[in-house]
Structure 1
């Protein structure tokens, strides 16, 4: 190759490199403009925001946004259940005034243990209730009603249901605020066959009185006893060694759950961390499973138990009660 040919080749290679560089600059500019257009849209789009928040939980499949639910209303493979009715009075003031279209209802008292208010019923009793509501072993179950939804979810998982089960992120007021329609009539339902697979049951999700007594008597830093009642209830009387994080702290103002990072901070600040055995209690067994749902499903804590008897059962026995602020000193993780 002579000098003239070598020079020509050098010019061509230089020109090619310039073309490649210019192409890269143009592509990057186009991407930047596209990102600049997309980011404001994502920031202002509640559908995208809701999906992004849910995706950051440890088990995002346990939760569903109002926007995703809206697309499933009327789906024959989905059964939607309203669990707001802790009593017939609450039922009359909520469900009959307006509920998400197609939602059946289950009252708390329908699956309580007979003669023990606020205690979970037996699998046989609960199966009959679910059959009457149109639940079978194949349908996807979506539940709403905040604390009632948490209890229903915990119950289904504990007794071995293999159904896909999701809790709505929000409640009926969240649904209304988005401008979505409500209904006042109960949907028709056909009796179905539903059976718990008790071979899948996990009774580690519940703790009895003896277990909680043992946790108090043989307390170690590896144990957390968590009272989820309002703080004034805690001050009046609580189980020894327990700390207090009120149930309401896990919600935003619109009754959606706080983000994963916010929830983690709330519990870590009181020493409630994933490496501990956590016993949760409330006044009875109705509200506490919601916090089980937050810790076990949203944050991924593995060893979380519900003391279903709550402070009501504890006070029925000659057991020590503490009053005032917590006696133990909790050092949050740094």
Structure 2
């Protein structure tokens, strides 16, 4: 993995297997299917439920600095703990978590390359035992929202010639052919289509069949072929921001792009805004 801009952002299954009993490492499983953890998880891993653990209970936003400190404290995480994130769907929500935790300044963050798919394919052990860790005191920094885009910012920058909007959804969602994704009623919108000027680069094209990331050369070809380069300002989006966080991870951690933001409001917000410009 040394070919990537930040190889330290990834670990492989062998590394995880060698650190299962390392008290300085905390495994966090973040799945799209929140029931998978109970079916079986990597020994020592704690469960992150995206519907509950990192969502503000009232406004559509994430938990605040204090909320993250409480969450990490309950998981026995300190500022020096190495956090390894993994999950299903080629690490959709694991990458989403990585992006969120980056905002709050945690330094030692890693993704398990290949996630559950790779771990299972190799026949590695699962457990149903839920670990309990001694409570710690964690100190987060105030959220750095420079890697997060909001709707007014996107709207204001639509005519910026250096901006590259990346719609990471499927071609059917991008074209407007598909308004609602099957089994995702919570991700609905009033209108179908895409943000004007957005380029369709589905998140899945960056992954191999075993769930691992493609090579740096392949990834550069994918984005370069769509006129997306490190010199651009980039904003990625999907429906709620989890797939586009995966693309944010690829661009920033694997390819070394410096100016990438994830628009987590994404299509559920944009597609329901009154008078928002839409293309099909």
TM-score (norm 2): 0.88
Residue number in structure 1 paired with 2:210: 254
Mapping 1:116-127, distance limit 5 Å? 116=59, 119-127=61-69
- Give the 5 Å matches for 1:107-146: 107-109=49-51, 110-116=53-59, 119-145=61-87, 146=91
**Corresponding residue for residue 65 of structure 1:** 12
Match of 2:163 in 1: 223
Secondary structure of the 1:195 match is coil
Quick one: distance in 1 between partners of 2:167 and 2:265? 12
- In the alignment, structure 1 residue 281 sits paired with structure 2 residue 208: no
- 1:261-280 equivalences under 5 Å are 261-280=217-236
Tell me how far apart the structure 2 counterparts of residues 116 and 104 of structure 1 sit (CA, whole Å): 26
Larger Rg: 1
CA distance in 2, matches of 1:66, 1:273: 31
Q: Greater share of helix residues, 1 or 2? A: 1
Q: How many residues align?
A: 259
**In structure 2, which of residues 144, 161, 166 is the aligned counterpart of residue 202 of structure 1?**
144
Larger RCO (alpha carbons 8 Å, 6+ apart): 2
Deviations 1:294-319 (A, max 9, x none): 00011000000011210111123221
Q: Distance in 1 between matches of 2:253 and 2:194?
A: 26
The unaligned stretches of length 5 or more in structure 1 are 1-53, 324-334
Cα distance change of structure 1 residues 243 and 157 upon mapping to structure 2, 3 Å threshold: same
SS in 2 for 1:82: strand
Distance (whole Å) between structure 1 residues aligned to residue 59 and residue 195 of structure 2: 20
Matches of 1:295 and 1:275, distance apart in 2: 12
Aligned ranges for residues 1-334 of structure 1 at < 5 Å?
54-84=1-31, 86=32, 90-92=33-35, 94-109=36-51, 110-116=53-59, 119-145=61-87, 146-162=91-107, 164-198=108-142, 202-216=144-158, 218-220=159-161, 222-236=162-176, 237-318=193-274, 319-323=276-280
For structure 2, the residue ranges without an aligned partner over 5 or more in a row are: 177-192
Change over 3 Å in CA distance of 1:253–1:116 after alignment to 2: farther
Q: CA RMSD in A?
A: 1.4
Deviations 1:125-171 (A, max 9, x none): 22222222222212111110201111111111112223x11111011
